[in-house]
Amino acid sequence: MINTHHHGDHTGGNEFFVKEGATLIASEAARVRLLARAPSEASPLPVITYNEGVHLYFNNDRLSLVALEGHTDGDSAVFFEGANVLHTGDLFFNGRFPYIDTDNGGGVGRYLSSQEELLSMINDDTLVIPGHGPIARRTDLMATHTMIRNTRDAVAQGISAGLSLADIQKQGLDDAYESFAWAFISEAKWIETLYWDSLKSDETD
Ligand SMILES: [Zn+2]
């Protein structure tokens, strides 16, 4: 069993499956987050970890586990090479504004870089399983990637023009991206993520 990162909606089955005999695998950074969050000593932790990646030879296929960053600092993607199937973890919310967990090491720039790496790993025949949203293809990942890039640039332009967060939220994003809003990440929330991320990147550049 592979944890693509530490969030509860992706690790809630750990205890059940480990009791059933599963071996828990995750990046070392995800294990650090799981350890910090573990409610009790009984909560199972990954027993096999990696820093950059690892191959698993399993079910007559080779799985390539790649350690990435951006949603958190402990993201992984899993590529089933023979089957040509990619599970992106939460580095891809298909057709939705993504959640960037800046309290746990996430950031917009690294999210985009990780998506670029995923795009370079796959082709038009690859079946892409996002962390949230319907099953996808490479073109869907590209569409969400482009949305993030364009909305990030729009918010940065607003900041350069001297607009406040409230001003930019009032102005809103391009209508083409209206459909990316969902219950967890509204347009206002996504603009807020981009706004603070942009100010933070300016400080560190
Ligand atoms: Zn998540």
Residues with CB under 5 Å of ion ligand 1 are 7, 90
How close is the Cα of 161 to the center of ligand 1, in Å? 33
C-alpha of residue 166 to centroid of ligand 1, in Å: 27
Return the DSSP state at 24.
P
Tally of CB atoms within 10 A around 147: 21
Compute, in angstroms, the gap from residue 9 CA to the centroid of ligand 1. Answer: 7
67 C-alpha vs ligand 1 centroid, how far in Å?
15
Q: 162 CA to middle of ligand 1, Å?
A: 33
Q: Distance from the CA of 132 to the center of ligand 1, in angstroms?
A: 9
Mind listing the pLDDT tens digit of every residue in the chain (205 residues)? Answer: 999 999 999 999 999 999 999 999 999 999 999 999 866 666 899 999 999 999 999 999 999 999 999 999 999 999 999 999 999 999 999 999 999 999 999 999 999 999 999 999 999 999 999 999 999 999 999 999 999 999 999 999 999 999 999 999 999 999 999 999 999 999 999 999 999 999 987 665 4
Q: How far is the CA of 90 from the centre of ligand 1 (A)?
A: 5
Helix (H) or strand (E) run with residue 76 in it: strand 75-80
Q: Where are the domains of the chain?
A: 8-204
Gap from CA of 37 to ligand 1 centroid (Å): 14
DSSP H or E segment with residue 67: strand 61-68
The hierarchical CATH code for the domain 8-204 is: 3.60.15.10
- What integer pLDDT is reported at residue 205 of this predicted model? 45
Helix or strand run (H / E) with residue 55: strand 53-58
Per the listing, tokens 């590529």 go with 79
* Ligand 1 centre distance from Cα of residue 171 (Å): 29
pTM: 0.95
Identify the pLDDT of residue 39.
66
114 CA from centroid of ligand 1 (Å): 15
Residue 205 CA to residue 196 CA, distance in Å, equals: 14
Is 86 in a helix, a strand, or coil?
strand
Tokens 């807020």 sit on residue:
192
